[in-house]
Chain A
Amino acid sequence: MSDAESTRRSELVAELYAQHGEKLRAFLYGVLRNVELASEALQNTFRQAVRALPEGTPDGIRGWLFRVAYNEAMLIRRRARVASDALQRMVESRAVETPGGGSGGETAQRIADDPLVKRETIERVHRALENLPRDQRYVVEQRIYGEKTFAAIAEELDVPLGTVLTRNRLALEKLRAALSETESSPRE
């Protein structure tokens, strides 16, 4: 690869990172449920991009990045599982009691503690949340912030479960639109 080609590719990757980095990191967090592992997978993804970024349209490249990110996440997971199994064997062989530890999934609260989202994204989602019809907003907040099940919310509001699910779906669509707004807005 010539110097010029290398520079051009680095610039392209940097641009892709600015464009898709936040979303890819969130995706990786969704799969791995761990900020450090998600960051590691993200780095590996862009390392691959520098080495072997395919030619194509931006949309095609986004798909490629998601696939690479997914494969990286699965790789890390397998590695973590192997390490965890080895640790478990070691622990069992020494008959040492370990504390309860976490379950596979992490709570929404844990997600809220992790700095995955840019401040401006949060502000846009906050605004979108405030603009939601009150019934939709209530469902979203009780589900995400209050960590209530949809069934519990339906019971509390005395409405059918389907109504609560519909409100949640409509709200998610609107909040998602606020995220897209962030992406299409000019960068400072």
Chain B
Amino acid sequence: MSSDAPLSSDDRLQWAQRYLLGELSSAEVEAFETRLGEDEELAAALADVVLIHQAVGDVPFPAPLREAVPDSRRLLRRFGWSVAAVAMVGVVALVQQTPRQVEMAKGGLELSHPEVLDSLFASSADDEDGPESMGVDPSDDEINALDVPDWLFAAVEAEGRMDDSGRPQEEEL
């Protein structure tokens, strides 16, 4: 931007926005600020851009915009959510199993020791291959809510009531 080149109203707005957002080089900033003292319309454009940014920044992220996300990404997001839900249910089921069942299921893996379970949780918590790597926004409400369907919980509870042979245990009176 030269400090004496003619600027249209649109140009002024664009330059003002780039100035505000810190997108100008130091030479451009210098030229812009020099001009700011002489060009009332440029000063007014900067004021308007500040006001617009303030006002737009106040807007909560509108729901309709989420529709602009490509369908493939939405499907991926749903897939990621499903994987997370199933994994969580798996861990819950694992915890509810008796130590002996775990040993049988895992071919003798010493999950009966609490520290092994701890490390299992710790490693899953530290795992960098989280939802982000699947293109899923971890701040997404859909993910954070982890709205596991009731039938899945019912299935886990039923699993907990089974004996070693896979038959339902008798209710304790």
Contact = CB atoms under 8 A, between A and B. Distances in A.
B22 A30 contact: no
Interface in B1-19: 9-10, 13-14, 16-17, 19
Contacts of A157: 68
A23 to B, nearest CB: 4
Given A30-B16, A141-B65, A22 B59 contact: no
Contacts of A124: 55
A122 B36 contact: no
Contacts of A49: none
Contacts, number: 127
If over half of B's interface residues share one DSSP class (helix, strand or loop), that class is named, otherwise mixed; here it is helix
A172 B52 contact: yes
Given A122-B55, A122-B58, A144-B56, A71 B50 contact: no
A176 B58 contact: no
A130 B63 CA distance: 12
Nearest to A27: B47
Contacts of A104: 22
Interface in A1-53: 22-24, 26-27, 29-31
- Counting contact residues on chain B (CB < 8 A from A), the size range is 35 or more
B40 A30 contact: no
A23 B64 contact: no
A111 B65 contact: no
B54 A112 contact: yes
A63 interface: yes
Interface residues of A, number: 49
A187 to B, nearest CB: 17
A108 B53 contact: yes
Interface in A44-96: 62-63, 66-67, 69-71, 74
A116 B36 CA distance: 20
B43 A176 contact: no
Given A108-B57, A176-B13, A116 B51 contact: yes
20 contacts: A23-B44, A23-B48, A26-B50, A30-B20, A30-B46, A31-B33, A62-B40, A66-B44, A67-B37, A70-B36, A71-B37, A105-B20, A111-B57, A112-B53, A112-B57, A129-B55, A134-B68, A145-B57, A179-B51, A179-B52
